[in-house]
Chains A and B, each alone.
Chain A
Amino acid sequence: MAEEREVNSASFYQFLTEKKLMASRCKKCQALYLPPHPICTKCHGSDMEWVEMKGNGKLAAFTAIAVGTTCTIEEGHDRNNPYVAGIVELDEGPKISGRISGLDARKPETIKVGTPLTAEFPEQEEGKGCYVAFKAQ
């Protein structure tokens, strides 16, 4: 049962493979955490529950990365094939880092902060970790 999974990154990424973007919520003060925190940084309570995010939000900050890490180079990214990463502010309030598709990474000057986005759940490649991703509407 989803609610009983421990509040940690393994559970968060397990949910992601089930196409669910999950935050943790403090039962005492209702503060929402994404990434999920096990201990409330506001009231210091540790009674947390999982809450599913609707996955709608807007681009708060972004970059088009030409010089990537070895992981993204293996994906086929390089100077001629950059990718967009960004910070997304969800309608529910929390912000999270994610890979952004549907924007032209070769023309980053055309990308606008504030662009509406929805969560997407790319198919996970064999042996590769999954990651938070959003798509421009």
Chain B
Amino acid sequence: MSRRARKLGRGVALVGAGMSKFGAFPDKTSRDLFADAFTAMTRSVDKGMDTEDIEALYVGNFSSDLFEGQGHIAPIMADWVGLVPKPATRLEDACASGGVAIREGVIAIASGLYDVVLVGGTEKMTNLPTERVTDTLAAASDTVYEGACGFTFPGLYAAMATAYMARHGASVEHFMKVGIKNHNNGSLNPKAQFNKSIRDLMNSRIEKAKQKGEPVPEWSDELDFLKDPKANPVVAWPMRLFDCSPITDGAACVLLVAEDIAKNFSNDPLYIVGTGQGSDHALHERDDLTSIAAARIAAQQAYEMAGVQPEDIQIAEVHDCFTIAELVAIEDLGFFKHGEGYKATEQGLTARDGSKPINTSGGLKSKGHPVGASGVGQAVEIWHQMRGEAGPRQVPGKDIRLALTHNVGATGGTCVVHIYQRR
């Protein structure tokens, strides 16, 4: 069957973006976090917005059911920001829920049905103890065949990591370097859950030991600290604590409008010029355990729609739920050759001042990973960076005209990619 080139029925623009602080907030439910994100978003709309103009809500959420005992959250989110009785729809594709919600918002506007759509994502994860969070996240894998034999969600990415190491000669240090880079970025992001560099974390532990009169650890540098099993215990080898994104509460919102009315809202809108989405088998059924086919397919669709190449993309927020995931992502997106992502990271090419800055927000690793909100949170960072509003973490010396987001559900059963243009 021949495949026709897909395009949007009409252009779609991003005219506002905001997020709650990401972290652990015992007194906040998913709806409170969502309201925080909505308020932040409304303040970002240059010419102001009227909630009455919003015609529909699409909200990404993985598992409020298991995390909070609350299902059917879309109408609650709509109610808490004043949208009832407008249509409100929840999208669930594990950690890609937020990115998929953006895509559904884009499709709804491109179809001509709506002109103004609110897209959000929200997740409240810290109510549960760690083992039950582990269970809940494992529910995003194939519970019948992967979960049954004891695979956890970190375990599946860890398996990809061992396949990657065996095939490409990478070492655990290469994974650690992804974490160090993302924490460096996150240390400059006031909304990040861990806005501290690994070096700061290391130094604060040394300081604490001194104050308590305990033996002072002798770590020579960040890598030395990360190799210490006491400071950085194994979760699922070779993934250690600092290879894993944290358990996070958080929400994010964006306002999407038809391109022809974008300037009514914003002096400097961003245009969504490419969208792509793919699916894949469970990990064990894939031909290649070191790459995510859904990501390659989603990226290809988005690049084709936008008429651009991987080398045209100036910055990207990619799905680094684990450090190995960022290496796989930057290869699947075509930024680096298969098996060379770890070398590029080691050379600093993906650092904020590198040729291809990746995860300037701190990524899921340092910014936090409220699973259903993460895909929308990526768009918030792109909004700030492209408009030159990212403050101390603004990418230096670049006039950013093209940026990309890459959001993965679980081990790659879902991937959604968006390309943003500033004109």
| Residues of chain A having any CB pair with chain B under 8 Å | 9, 35, 60-73, 77, 79, 82-83, 85-87, 94-99, 108-109, 111-114, 129, 131-133
Contact = CB atoms under 8 A, between A and B. Distances in A.
B159 A87 contact: yes
Given A97-B284, A113-B166, A69 B159 contact: no
Given A35-B144, A132-B148, A86 B234 contact: no
Given A63-B237, A64-B236, A64-B237, 9 more contacts: A61-B162, A63-B154, A67-B131, A68-B152, A69-B134, A71-B150, A86-B159, A87-B283, A97-B146
B147 interface: yes
B138 to A, nearest CB: 6
Contacts of A72: 150
A108 B132 contact: no
Nearest to A96: B284
Interface in B135-170: 135, 138, 142, 144-152, 154-156, 158-163, 166
A113 B167 CA distance: 9
Interface residues of B, number: 39
B235 A85 contact: no
B289 interface: yes
Q: 5 smallest A-B Cβ distances: which pairs?
A: A63-B158, A113-B166, A108-B237, A61-B159, A61-B163
B233 A79 contact: yes
B234 A95 contact: no
Interface in B286-317: 286, 289
B375 interface: no
30 contacts: A35-B145, A35-B285, A61-B289, A63-B158, A63-B236, A63-B238, A64-B234, A65-B155, A66-B236, A67-B134, A67-B152, A67-B236, A69-B135, A69-B138, A69-B150, A70-B131, A70-B135, A85-B159, A87-B284, A95-B285, A95-B286, A96-B145, A96-B284, A97-B149, A108-B234, A108-B237, A109-B237, A129-B148, A131-B149, A132-B148
Contacts of A111: 162
Nearest to B244: A67
Contacts of B142: 35
Contacts of B160: 61
Contacts of A60: 163, 289
Contacts of B282: 35, 97
Contacts of A85: 149-151, 155, 159
Contacts of B235: 65-67
A30 B59 CA distance: 43
Interface of B: prevailing SS: helix
Interface of A: prevailing SS: mixed
B130 interface: yes
Contact of A67 (B147, B154, B161): B154
B141 to A, nearest CB: 9
B323 to A, nearest CB: 14
B236 to A, nearest CB: 5
Given A69-B135, A72-B150, A62 B145 contact: no
A113 B152 contact: no
A68 B150 contact: yes
Contacts of A70: 131-132, 134-135
A131 B148 contact: yes
Contacts of B163: 60-61, 87, 113
Most chain B C-beta atoms within 10 Å of own C-beta, residue among A9, A62, A98, A108: A62
A113 to B, nearest CB: 4
Contacts of B159: 61-63, 85-87
B147 A69 contact: yes
B149 A67 contact: no
A131 B150 contact: yes
B238 A108 contact: yes
A106 to B, nearest CB: 10
Given A61-B162, A97-B145, A97-B151, A66 B233 contact: yes
Most chain B C-beta atoms within 10 Å of own C-beta, residue among A70, A94, A112: A70
A65 B135 CA distance: 14
A65 B145 CA distance: 17
A72 B148 CA distance: 10
A62 B138 contact: no
Contacts of B236: 63-67
Interface in B157-204: 158-163, 166
Given A70-B132, A82-B234, A87-B289, A65 B152 contact: yes
Most chain B C-beta atoms within 10 Å of own C-beta, residue among A66, A72, A73: A66
A9 B7 CA distance: 40
